[in-house]
Amino acid sequence: MTTAGRAVVLLSGGMDSATCLALARAGGHECHTLAIDYGQRHRAELAAAAALAAALGAASHRVVAIGIGTFGGSALTDVRVAVPEAPSPGIPVTYVPARNTVFLALALGLAEVLDADAIYAGMNAVDYSGYPDCRPEFAAAFQRLADLATRRAVEGRRIVLETPLMRLDKASIIRQGLALGVDYAATVSCYQATVDGAACGACDACRLRAAGFAAAGVDDPTRYAPRS
């Protein structure tokens, strides 16, 4: 495979970032994946990320731990805040403050160290949970920041933020991923997955995922945990 240069790929272990990695690989990039351990209660996604990195041919995989779980303020990091199991208006309590800003900043640092030309991130503004830091205008603002923030940029060599899923619906993401060999059974989306990655089937992430498989007309490979 010819190489399109190095890329840092943010890999959460969910279906979007797995598809993003497959797209970056299909584009010829040497991919270095980065998972972030931010104290998320759905720890199974970190194990899924490592397995997906290997299965999809990443050149390296890193996990960076950051202590933002101690900030509190999100159902994803604070077990005292319940994960909602029904749709709610506005920005949900599963929003982690400034999460994508922090994750992209870390990816930018790694991209600079590895001399990578691109960052791939699976943000999506169609079938998403209404987080402010998943929108195209947020990604564009991050690009403008990145163009001023790094040694590479000062030297005239940009690090480009690629968000290939931004305007795709979930069904299109699934179809693209399946065409590229993504094994969605190995991905974890659920906000309250069990330690071995079984899904609740009720949270916002589970609902979006199940609707995506239905719309794509393919069998849903998700393992669901028995409900009590």
Q: Which residues bind a second copy (CB under 8 A)?
A: 62-68, 70-73, 91, 95-102, 104-106, 108-110, 112-113, 132-133, 135, 137-138, 141-142, 144-151, 153-154
Beta-strand pair 30-37/160-162: unpaired
Query: Residue 193, class by beta-carbon neighbours within 10 Å (0-12 exposed, 13-18 middle, 19+ buried)?
Result: buried
> Distance (Å, rounded) from C-alpha 207 to C-alpha 85?
9
44 with 199: CB under 8 angstroms?
A: no
CB of 111 to a second copy, least distance (A): 8
Compare residues 119 and 193 and give the one whose CB is closer to a second copy.
119
Nearer to a second copy, 116 or 199 (CB): 116
Tell the smallest beta-carbon distance from residue 19 to a second copy (Å): 24
Our CB check for a second copy shows the closer of 98 and 214 to be 98
The H or E element spanning position 153 is: helix 151-154
Least distance to a second copy from the beta carbon of 33, Å?
14
Please, which residue, 133 or 162, has the CB nearer to a second copy?
Answer: 133
| Minimal distance, residue 203 CB to a second copy, in Å | 19
Rounded Cα–Cα distance for residues 169 and 154 (Å)? 36
Tokens of 18: 């797995």
Question: What tokens does 96 get?
Answer: 């982690």
